[in-house]
Copies of this chain bind each other. A is one copy, B any other.
Amino acid sequence: METFTPTARTQLRRRSQRAVYDKAQVHAILDEGFICHVGFVLDGKPHVLPTAYARSGEQIYIHGSPASRLMAAKGELDICLTVTLTDGLVLARSAFHTSINYRSVVVFGKARLVTDLIEKWQALRSFTNHVIAGRWEQVKQPTEQELKATGVLSLPLEEVSAKVRTGPPIDDEEDYSLPVWGGVVPVLQQFGEPAPDGRVLDGIAAPSLSR
């Protein structure tokens, strides 16, 4: 089993039984999500922004306007990128043991600004195909001008940890006799029926979704 090596930042200090450093599990979490939260420091203060991402091998790509503060830092900014999948409400018989089932990945590092046009192209393809397989091959691909108008950062999967809670509530033994329902309510992220924008040409079907 290939694993990430814990560092001072990624070594879980509490609830270490929930820690996961297995690369395959980390990759699976990253591949299931598609929105991450990116933290960075400006003027000594924390900033956290949601953005789309895609994994490609041992890197995560994010993108945005080259004018954004994140992109304008040109890869010299330390970032912390977090992906969280919410799996269930864990309803214990006591308020204290009530919890949430989740899988989260935290990646620390410096993100590199992608300047090579080929790598940028491949990164954009990975965004588009991450959620809907094969979509990149159907759509109009970016012009050189559009490519230049897109900032892409690459964050290596090096300093990484995951944290996972699964399973039923763990109540205090005496509380199992209480007349209170205990168990898990699954939280599901699902795709609804595709809604065409009214200008789709005749005979063009909605894409089939990979989840």
Contacts and interface: CB of A to CB of B under 8 A. Distances in A.
A196 B185 CA distance: 9
Contact of A187 (B104, B128, B184, B191): B191
A152 B192 CA distance: 37
Given A139-B93, A140-B93, A195-B186, A50 B82 contact: yes
Interface centre among A44, A140, A194 (most CB of B within 10 A): A140
A181 B205 CA distance: 7
Q: How large is the interface on A (under 10, 10 to 19, 20 to 34, 35 or more residues)?
A: 35 or more
A48 B183 CA distance: 29
A3 interface: no
Contact of A95 (B102, B124, B175): B124
Interface string A80-98: 1110101001011111101
Given A95-B140, A181-B204, 5 more contacts: A95-B142, A98-B127, A138-B180, A180-B204, A181-B206
A194 B180 CA distance: 14
Contacts of A102: 35, 50
Interface string A177-201: 1111111111111111111111111
Given A46-B40, A48-B106, A192 B182 contact: no
